[in-house]
């Protein structure tokens, strides 16, 4: 039985801003892009959340919900410094650390000797050290696997902790919405709801073979997850090769105009993930992926240090011309340089076809 801790710093970017500028602690605060540039909220503090402001929300909508919202642009240098300080604390307890983003990581403390080997006490001590040494707060989930630990870390936010012992997993998982499971996005959640499945308890009633026939490999994973099972190990840090988002549409997008109309939504999702997960290094290439209605697929990419909506729109227009037919899936993303030495100024536009 593993001992897994999932640590998630509370409203990380906003927390760093409030730490460095105490006057911001009591006002609605968000970190994100400007509304005039189709920006998105990366994160916000809890006073802002009281108005309904949320991460990944368009900044323009956030300002309508909260006209007094204080909006600050991201300062990645300070956020990286805070992240490094947090990760140095992690390293005092285990070498099995799997970062998910600047502010979030899994820790396998199965063989740890600190705090008498107690995962619960280790999580408490880590959170206390983050509070005193870094000046921000973090929440933790403690469980026997990554799935339950990650869900549990969100249970008592902010500055909270949740422990799910092995004998409590069954009762913990049954009432959870299926949207909490790994791999279940908005489209899959809606598809499950149409099948009458909203909770893990309802999903448990479906035979494994039926889930596989309807959802493929994801179906096998859902069968295990809805029972609280997750055999994935905590993997030590490895170089990220790419970051992307994609969407499969319930109805095919009929033409290029319809595809371009979907770009703002994809961009907001991508920008949110890029701010959280990819801020440690610059991009090397931008790419667009298209899957046409007949499942033919094409990818168009270009050298690009700073991805923008305009870059993705041009890639999309060129990629669509290869098929010029209805589209069932769109994706946008970036590739990172293989080594830090590649992080240099590059020509903005050199396309490479990949049918």
CATH of the domain at 43: 3.40.1170.60
Position 182 in a domain: yes
Position 279 in a domain: yes
Inter-residue contact 121 to 3 (CB < 8 Å): no
The CATH number of whichever domain residue 257 belongs to comes to 3.30.1490.100
Residue among 166, 145, 124, 334 at smallest CA distance from 244 = 334
Residues 250, 156 share a domain: no
Position 161 in a domain: yes
- Strand residue runs (E) in the chain: 4-9, 29-32, 41-44, 70-72, 97-101, 104-108, 138-143, 161-163, 242-253, 285-292, 297-303, 327-335, 351-354
Residues 120, 8 share a domain: yes
171 in a labelled binding site: no
Residues 184, 84 share a domain: no
Residues 45, 122 share a domain: no
What average pLDDT score do residues 73-85 get?
Answer: 92
**How many domains does the structure of the chain reveal?**
4
The CATH number of whichever domain residue 212 belongs to comes to 1.10.150.20
Residues 101, 60 share a domain: no
- Where residue 181 falls (left for φ over 0; alpha for ψ -120 to 50; beta otherwise) is beta
197 vs 189: CA distance, rounded Å: 9
Residues 47, 147 share a domain: no
Active site members: 104
Q: In the structure, what pLDDT confidence band is assigned to residue 284 with cuts at 50, 70 and 90? A: confident
pLDDT tens digits, one per residue of 243-257 = 888 888 878 999 999
The CATH number of whichever domain residue 129 belongs to comes to 3.30.70.270
Position 269 in a domain: yes
pLDDT tens digits, one per residue of 32-44 = 888 777 678 989 9
What average pLDDT score do residues 54-81 get?
Answer: 92
Residues 330, 221 share a domain: no
Position 307 in a domain: yes
- Residue that terminates a domain, selected from 146, 166, 186: 166
Range of the domain at 254: 242-354
7 vs 90: CA distance, rounded Å: 9
Tokens of 94: 């285990």
Residues 339, 303 share a domain: yes
- Residue that terminates a domain, selected from 27, 48, 73: 73
Query: CB 351: neighbour CB atoms within 10 A?
Result: 14
Residue among 182, 87, 72, 177 at smallest CA distance from 138 = 87
Residues 150, 185 share a domain: no
pLDDT of residue 261: 94
Position 236 in a domain: no
What average pLDDT score do residues 260-273 get?
Answer: 88
Position 234 in a domain: no
Residues 159, 202 share a domain: no
Tokens of 290: 């298209």
Residues 274, 337 share a domain: yes
42 vs 55: CA distance, rounded Å: 5
Q: In the structure, what pLDDT confidence band is assigned to residue 239 with cuts at 50, 70 and 90? A: low
Position 334 in a domain: yes
Residues 133, 8 share a domain: yes
More confident residue, 305 or 62: 62
**Residue-averaged pLDDT of the chain:** 89
pLDDT of residue 198: 96
252 in a labelled binding site: no
237 vs 240: CA distance, rounded Å: 9
pLDDT of residue 276: 66
| Helical residues (DSSP H) of 55-106, grouped into ranges | 59-65, 76-90
């Amino acid at each position: 039985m593993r001992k897994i801790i999932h640590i998630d710093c509370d409203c990380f970017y906003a927390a760093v801003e409030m730490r460095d500028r105490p006057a911001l602690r009591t006002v609605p605060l968000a970190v994100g892009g400007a509304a005039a540039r189709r920006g998105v909220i990366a994160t916000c503090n809890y006073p802002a959340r009281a108005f309904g402001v949320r991460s990944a929300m368009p900044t323009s909508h956030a300002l309508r919900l909260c006209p007094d919202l204080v909006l600050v642009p991201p300062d990645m240098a300070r956020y990286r410094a805070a992240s490094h300080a947090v990760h140095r604390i992690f390293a005092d307890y285990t070498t099995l650390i799997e970062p998910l983003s600047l502010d979030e990581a899994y820790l396998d403390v199965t063989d740890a000797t600190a705090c008498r080997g107690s995962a619960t006490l280790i999580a408490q001590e880590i959170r206390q050290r983050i509070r005193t040494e870094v000046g921000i707060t973090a929440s933790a989930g403690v469980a026997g696997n990554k799935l339950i630990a990650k869900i549990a870390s969100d249970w008592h936010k902010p500055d909270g902790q949740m422990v799910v012992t092995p004998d409590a997993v069954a009762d913990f998982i049954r009432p959870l919405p299926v949207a909490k499971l790994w791999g279940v996005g908005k489209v899959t959640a809606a598809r499950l709801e149409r099948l009458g499945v909203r909770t893990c308890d309802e999903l448990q009633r479906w035979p494994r073979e039926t889930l596989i026939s309807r959802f493929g490999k994801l179906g096998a994973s859902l069968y295990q997850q809805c029972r609280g099972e997750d055999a994935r190990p905590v993997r030590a840090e490895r170089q990220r090769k790419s970051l992307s988002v994609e969407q499969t549409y319930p109805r095919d997008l009929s033409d290029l105009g319809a595809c371009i109309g979907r770009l703002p939504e994809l961009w907001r999702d991508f920008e949110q993930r890029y701010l959280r997960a990819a801020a440690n290094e610059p991009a090397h290439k931008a790419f667009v992926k298209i899957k046409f209605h007949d499942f033919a697929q094409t990818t168009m990419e270009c050298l690009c240090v700073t991805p923008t909506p305009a870059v993705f729109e041009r890639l999309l227009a060129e990629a669509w011309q290869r098929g010029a037919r209805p589209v069932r899936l769109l994706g946008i993303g970036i590739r990172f340089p293989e080594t830090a030495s590649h992080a240099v100024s590059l020509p903005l536009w050199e396309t490479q076809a990949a049918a």
